[in-house]
Amino acid sequence: MLRLNTSSPDFERAFRRLVADRRESDGNVARDVSLILDDVRTRGDEALAELTERFDGHALVSDDDWRIPAEACREAFEALDPALRAALELAAQRIRAYHEAQLPADRDATDATGVRMGARWRAVDAAGLYVPGGRAAYPSSLLMNAIPAKVAGVERLAVVTPTPKGQVNPLVLAAAHLAGVDEVWRVGGAQAIAALAYGTQRIRPVDVVTGPGNAWVAEAKRQLYGVVGIDMVAGPSEILLIADGRNDPEWTAADLLSQAEHDPSAQSILITDDPVFADTVADRVGVELAMLPTARVASESWKNHGVIIEVASLDEAPALANALAAEHVQIATDDPQALFDRIRHAGSVFLGRMTPEAVGDYVAGPNHVLPTGRRARFSSGLSVLDFMKRTSFIQLDEAALQAIGPAAIALAEAEGLPAHARSIETRLGI
């Protein structure tokens, strides 16, 4: 675990190194993924079957080997413990309500010159959702991806998920039923992203691919952007916690480890103005790790990527947070809004001592699919807009063309495009 202090002479150099550390895939992953994508594009189902047996130990032979029927998803949902089913339903209800408020409005207006113009929003025809099936099998992620797509009006939702040795996570199937998923395919990895993008003999192509995955999945989405739309290229999880010394060290340690347990490459950072609190939290992390069933992963993450930054005043924290542009920012102070007002770059922000990031992963409502690796500088979390596109429209009558057409002719001629000018001139009788 790295300890930094803003008053140290070498802080700027060490902090720049921290900001530049992406913790993401290397060139070997990119090369391997490129070969997989080309194989699936060329051979389709044959390549999918070979790769699925090699990586997941699951043979794709019969229809049931390839696809999980809707009836199995319904049975998984009905078989859930009532309390767990109620929790999933609450999460789905809150996620749906939040995303329904995101739906954009069409525009249609006529200006003073008589030009009618506006924009119309429509959903894509089909979306593919990736659901991890290895270390991370999260029904919450399925809800966070599928529900915005359904709210947007996507007609066909196809889920791909690996089933190692044929094993299926019943919670994922239950979430698929609750969200109204149309297809669930038993394939994963970069090959599944390729199948969604290119289509195969069995799997029809989609327009947008979303959902979290490992380095190979993220790299596949990066390489296929343009063939399909994607939500983002996501890296390892990260949390930045800004906390004063009046916080409970046990709570703070648990908050830091809530992201560390995701992945050995995940990163947890604490910024505090209290050195005694910093020491206490560092000690408490060790205690919490000793009790965690996920200690092996969380410990590796904290040891290799955990950071505590001591500042003279928390007034320094927003500038540091903006440079880090973290996926999750948690502000545990008496007046979190004052610091939040100065934070410009963050995937999602959690305000106050009673708002742990973990509640946002499940039932708060806003999407937990968020930009990582400093991408919050220029991108946002998943929303209904990721499943929609905007089409502008224009309508002129003769008077409107007379009003603005001559300016268009002048610009077309200036750009050396006489056919552009001619298409307007003929209508104006010039």
Q: Which residues are catalytic?
A: 327-328
Query: In the structure encoding, which two tokens stand for residue 98, read together?
Result: 């939040």
Amino acid identity at 143: L
Q: What is the dihedral of CA 132, 137, 143, 145, to 10 degrees?
A: -20
The string of DSSP codes covering 391-409 is: EEEEE--HHHHHHHHHHHH
Q: Which of 249, 210, 32, 212 is nearest to 129 (CA)?
A: 210
Give the phi and the psi of residue 238 in degrees, each rounded to 5.
Answer: -155, 150
**CA angle, 104 as apex, 98 and 106 as ends, to 5°?**
155
Rounded Cα gap, residues 78 and 185, in angstroms = 21
- Laid out side by side, the sheet with 107-110 consists of 107-110, 116-123, 388-395
Task: Look at residue 412 and give its three-state secondary structure.
Answer: helix
Task: Identify each DSSP E strand in 111-192 by its residue range.
Answer: 116-123, 126-130, 156-160, 183-185
The β-bridge partners of 226 are none
**CA angle, 55 as apex, 52 and 57 as ends, to 5°?**
70
**CA angle, 158 as apex, 167 and 175 as ends, to 5°?**
55
Rounded Cα gap, residues 181 and 184, in angstroms = 7
- Report the relative pairing of strands 126-130 and 156-160 from DSSP bridges: parallel
Using CA atoms, how far residue 304 sits from 6, 170, 239, 249, in Å, is 21, 34, 15, 21
Query: In the structure encoding, which two tokens stand for residue 63, read together?
Result: 């229809």
Pair 73, 176: CB distance under 8 Å: yes
The string of DSSP codes covering 229-262 is: EES----S-EEEEEE-TTS-HHHHHHHHHHHHTT
Give the number of other Cβ atoms within 10 Å of residue 372's Cβ.
26
Distance between first and last Cα of the chain: 75
Task: Look at residue 377 and give its three-state secondary structure.
Answer: helix
